[in-house]
Amino acid sequence: MRQQNYEVTQIPGGVPIKTWTRGVHFEEEARQQLINLSRLPFIHKWIAAMPDVHLGKGATIGSVVPTVNAIIPAAVGVDIGCGMMAVKTGVRADQLPDSLRDVRHAIERAVPHGREMQRNRGGRDKGAWGELPYDVALAWSSLVESFNRLCEKYKLLKNTNNAHHLGTLGTGNHFIEVCLDESNAVWVMLHSGSRGVGNRIGTHFIELAQKEMQRWQIQLPDRDLAYLPEGSEYFADYVQAVEWAQHFARVNRDVMMTRVLKTLSAVLNLNFEARLAAVNCHHNYVSREHHYGKDVLVTRKGAVRAGLGEWGIIPGSMGARSFIVRGLGNEESFCSCSHGAGRIMSRTAAKKQASLEQHIAATEGVECRKDQSVIDETPAAYKPIEQVMQAQSDLVEIMHTLKQVVCVKG
């Protein structure tokens, strides 16, 4: 029988907290957030904290929150459906050129990304607010009907960059990578979510939940733990909006992946089998599941579902290894695992403490930006991924180990 890695903390006035953090940095502020969560009256059984756990807004990033008849919009967050996609290709390492700069630049041209994209209002070739590229328009056609129904009730959503953000990477920790696995096969991996429209949905319902707490005179240890009870005015609308945003995020990753694979084929002048294996998983989302005799809403804020045999992706930092994993179905974590390495420094702290020289050394051998603007994403800002994987060896098994050779940052 596999050894269980978690530790249990009993919380006076709350449910227990189970943490998979042995040998991994675990900040006190994150502990307090978990304690606040555990004392809400609708938590089912316990809170689970993954080894990448760190301070978030309201709810801790790297937490699994099972609830009965209620949902916490801030626990889902504003990057609804943020997640990962990875594809194994038929390309081998020896088919890549010695210099990968042209590969990186081609991907950067193919997928709008970063703050330059924001300044250009979407970075679209034919005008951000005009005609959509064909692949984006086709993808949007599967989303628009449900989106229009949401807009009928919540008219503010009409002003978001909905279709124009589809097929775009975004900023911050979002990325596209070309990686090599343990057998020198080439993979493409990317990280992104529901972009501006998901942010607007999340922000809107967080504010509505906070107003409901005021109206009902419910006192909370943190106003960002405001919740919507099932059957209340906004609950069903929020669930519908979240499901739509999660669908948008998955389609967004599909559009970008198709573009990157076509770009890779063109720049390498190779026709290759593109999807020998593929994984597409959320890590900021909510789903209806059954655990310990109850139908519950499971919110994974920076966590991946790791049911028995389910495949997932756990990326390291931009200079570290990443892992394609298969879930072990551990019910103690509500069948979950970490979504990455987890930050050990805030973005502000990383900019102050990490030097450009350190960043260049840490990303040696990776074709990526090596300038001051990505210091907040430097490897030193994250927990060592090897420690994170060791701490959750009872949650997943490693199927492939990836090392990036190209990294495009948002």
pLDDT in tens, 54-83: 999 878 999 999 999 999 999 999 999 999
CATH number, domain with residue 68: 3.90.1860.10
- Mean pLDDT computed over 144-173: 82
Please, which residues bridge with residue 286 across strands?
A: 299
Confirm whether 319 is domain-assigned: yes
Q: For residue range 383-394, what is the model confidence (pLDDT) as tens digits?
A: 999 999 999 999
Q: Any residues with CB less than 8 A from the CB of 5 and at least 6 apart, and which?
A: 20, 22, 391, 392, 393, 394, 395
Structural domain tally of the chain? Answer: 1
Confirm whether 122 is domain-assigned: yes
Q: Shortest CA distance to 61 belongs to which of 254, 284, 330?
A: 284
Confirm whether 60 is domain-assigned: yes
Catalytic annotation, pick one of 204, 282, 339, 359: 339
Q: Shortest CA distance to 214 belongs to which of 206, 223, 205?
A: 223
Whether 204 is a known active-site residue: answer no
Confirm whether 359 is domain-assigned: no
Confirm whether 12 is domain-assigned: yes
For residue 171, name the pLDDT band (cuts at 50, 70, 90).
Answer: confident
- Whole domain around residue 282: which residue ranges? 7-344+382-409
Q: Shortest CA distance to 254 belongs to which of 334, 166, 177, 339?
A: 166
Q: Any residues with CB less than 8 A from the CB of 373 and at least 6 apart, and which?
A: none
Confirm whether 335 is domain-assigned: yes
d(CA 41, CA 38): 8
Confirm whether 372 is domain-assigned: no
For residue 283, name the pLDDT band (cuts at 50, 70, 90).
Answer: very high
